[in-house]
Amino acid sequence: MTNPLLDDWTTPFGLAPFDAIGDEDFAPALDAALAEARAEVAMIAENPEPPDFSNTIAALEASGRTLDRVLSVFFTVAGADSNPRRQELQRAFSPKLAAYSSELHGNKALFARIAAVWEARETLGLTAEEARLLMLTHRAFRRAGAALTGAEEARMRAIMARLAELGTAFTQNLLADEAGWHMALTEADLEGLPGFVVDAARAAGRERGLEGPAITLSRSLIVPFLQFSPRRDLRRRAYEAWAARGAMGGATDNRAIATEILALRAERAALLGYESFAAYKLETEMAGKPEAVRDLLMAVWEPARARAEADAETLTAMLREDGINDDLAPWDWRYYAERRRQAEHDLDEAQIKPYLSLDAMIAAAFDCANRLFGLEFTPLDVALYHPDCRAWEVTREGRHVAVFIGDYFARGSKRSGAWCSAMRGQAKWPRVQAPVVINVCNFAKGDPALLSHDDARTLFHEFGHALHHMLSDVTYESLAGTNVARDFVELPSQLFEHWLDVPEVLEKHARHVTTGEAMPRALLDRLLGAANFDMGFQTVEYVASALVDLAFHEGAPPEDAMARQAAVLREIGMPPAIAMRHATPHFAHVFSGDGYSSGYYSYMWSEVMDADAFASFTEAGGPFDAARARALERHILSRGGTKEAAALYRAFRGRLPGVEALLRGRGLAA
């Protein structure tokens, strides 16, 4: 018996043979791949030839390919279609992978060779991309503790192993809370809910094996329930469960885990000579220092809070008109904001959704990619990991560019949120390979599936990340696609969101799912006119999360993460009727791994650029200006991490932007 994860894949485009892979294949494949990777690293470290770029840096780039392949499949299914066996494997794999990473970065002979090449860099005649790969490799080893010795080195290994365990536990606890809670509804409880919410609730009930409808903690279901349900008691019950994810007590509680993670990160930074984990983390980002992040966030916080407080007064008056003599609460905000939106903009989401079917919005994203970059999408009939998934071949002028996979529907086995990943990145060395890119979302399943405007924006956002992968044109995979500074990675995704609201795009694709008629112009105008509606709320809930993240990592670690969260919210004057978008126990961006730790601000840092970047299109020939599209691909989307992010943006725009475009775009400018 051979292991399909280790065999040569003869499938179309070298896709993973999902129909041949079983959960029993992952553990032996990982062990074999780790052994192979260790042997490859040993050959590089023990090479008797003098170190040079080819036999050290490039050789390291070429190593670990089997390991990458096994992990790309495993983490795809573990995140998007989990089960108890996969969760068990995830817990078992975390310490193994942490140990391998520690061994790799603690290999003194290997680091000596890397350092020797680094010292000789000026004499090696390297290309710009080779020099960049050398710098990033040397920096990554240094920042991972390669120069540590003795007790400090041993402690760093222990810290990294423990962080891997804690990140996995945090993720699985959150998934368990999300999958384990539901609120069964009676037929009477459905009163006042639009048809699409009723349909989604019935589908959720069927998925849970119930006889009737239910509300789950899927964002695509609970948010519209909070928007439309006139039952304040049910809204409160649903909201409190949603807000309590990761803090429900018992074995799945994440509060102590978060506190321990913060302590270990601070110790890790200190071992490496940094004054805080934020200082360590931001060294490689565009922002550079915590002070720059705080300056941006506070420049936005003050006008956003002022707008939110003014809106709260209006919503409180509506609450009083309903005869409720109580303070406006977080479970009230979305309900009264939706009523206000309908009154002020004559805009009912139930009116809009039939024009925003999932298939229509996928077609809209594909059409924009075609008009901007010449990409074409052809459906593929291939085996994937779940029946809900679908795939397309991406071509340009008849040439294969990528495979794109979409997994759009919420289910109990999928973690919350939306994300994009490359199961295989683009590269030209040591072999030419085209990317395999996947978008994962959590939209409510229906027949047909209908999206809210916010859902459609999420689809465009994740597809913007996919374009960053698809259009990559670099030599080395570790520099390809989204392998860029964390506060630059959201630029392509947030920029692509703008095309959703281009009137000609909606006029073409926003067609009624039953009649096929275009969205009436008056409805379209009202939809676009309400683009900044409730922006105070949206900005406050986001910036509060980013400020808490920064405070967690900027100074000494808190003895109690929840107490520190509460203190930060008091300090900034958090409006009482608005909660953080991601409270600490379910702040997966920050605690499932350290990708966005000290980096949740990056969405807003990127928004400063995306507002300015889209303005460059409108200032030129319009949203589909060919010259601007070529510049975007040439200087940003195709370049990956081959240059510093600021240099890439300057090449595209001629300068760096200020915060003014962001404030104007959000309607928060004075």
CA dihedral over 406, 408, 414, 417, signed as positive or negative: positive
C-alpha closest to that of 169 among 453, 461, 588 = 588
CA 329 centroid distance within chain? 29
Mean per-residue pLDDT, 512-538: 94
Order the strands of the 376-380 sheet from edge to edge.
376-380, 390-396, 399-409, 436-443, 419-424
Q: State the pLDDT confidence band at 121, using cuts at 50, 70 and 90.
A: very high
C-alpha closest to that of 480 among 531, 566, 421, 521 = 421
pLDDT digits (tens, 9 = 90+) for 608-644: 999 999 999 999 999 999 999 999 999 999 999 999 9
Residue 474 confidence (pLDDT) above 80: yes
The CATH class of the 354-529+603-665 domain is: mainly alpha
pLDDT digits (tens, 9 = 90+) for 533-590: 999 999 999 999 999 999 999 989 999 999 999 999 999 999 999 999 999 999 999 9
DSSP tag of 585: G
pLDDT given for residue 349 in this prediction: 84
Q: State the pLDDT confidence band at 347, using cuts at 50, 70 and 90.
A: confident
pLDDT given for residue 1 in this prediction: 66
Helices (H), 208-357: 219-228, 232-243, 255-271, 277-282, 290-321, 330-345, 349-352
pLDDT given for residue 658 in this prediction: 86
Give the number of other Cβ atoms within 10 Å of residue 386's Cβ.
Answer: 14
Share of the chain above pLDDT 90, in %: 95
pLDDT given for residue 78 in this prediction: 96
pLDDT digits (tens, 9 = 90+) for 248-306: 999 999 999 999 999 999 999 999 999 999 999 999 999 999 999 999 999 999 999 99
CA-to-CA distance for 284 and 132, rounded, in angstroms? Answer: 13
Tokens representing residue 219 in the block: 């964002």
Residue 213 confidence (pLDDT) above 70: yes
Annotated catalytic residue: which of 129, 462, 541, 607? Answer: 462
CA-to-CA distance for 238 and 182, rounded, in angstroms? Answer: 9
Give the number of other Cβ atoms within 10 Å of residue 550's Cβ.
Answer: 22
pLDDT given for residue 106 in this prediction: 94
Look-up of token digits 């109690």: 560
DSSP tag of 445: P
Mean of the per-residue pLDDT values for the chain? 96
The CATH class of the 12-147 domain is: mainly alpha
CA-to-CA distance for 224 and 216, rounded, in angstroms? Answer: 12
Q: State the pLDDT confidence band at 446, using cuts at 50, 70 and 90.
A: confident
Residue 9 confidence (pLDDT) above 90: yes
CA-to-CA distance for 433 and 612, rounded, in angstroms? Answer: 33
Share of the chain above pLDDT 70, in %: 100
CA-to-CA distance for 256 and 246, rounded, in angstroms? Answer: 10
- The amino acid occupying position 473 is D
pLDDT given for residue 416 in this prediction: 85
CA distance to 159, 175, 555, 588, per residue, from 263 (Å): 10, 24, 11, 17
Domain boundaries, the chain: 12-147, 182-214+224-247, 252-347+535-600, 354-529+603-665
pTM of the model: 0.90
Decide if 313 is catalytic: no
CA-to-CA distance for 282 and 603, rounded, in angstroms? Answer: 14
pLDDT given for residue 330 in this prediction: 98
Mean per-residue pLDDT, 50-61: 98
What residues have CB less than 8 Å from 412, skipping those under 6 apart? 178, 179, 207, 208, 216
pLDDT given for residue 135 in this prediction: 98
CA distance to 140, 143, 301, 551, 574, per residue, from 571 (Å): 36, 33, 12, 11, 8
Mean per-residue pLDDT, 401-407: 98
Q: Is 68 helix (H, G, I), strand (E, B) or coil?
A: helix
pLDDT given for residue 290 in this prediction: 96
| Number of residues that this document lists for the chain | 670
Classify the phi-psi angles of 431: left when phi > 0, otherwise alpha if psi is within -120 to 50, otherwise beta: beta
CB-count burial class (<10 Å; 0-12, 13-18, 19+) for 209: exposed
The CATH class of the 252-347+535-600 domain is: mainly alpha
Domains 252-347+535-600 and 354-529+603-665 share a fold: yes
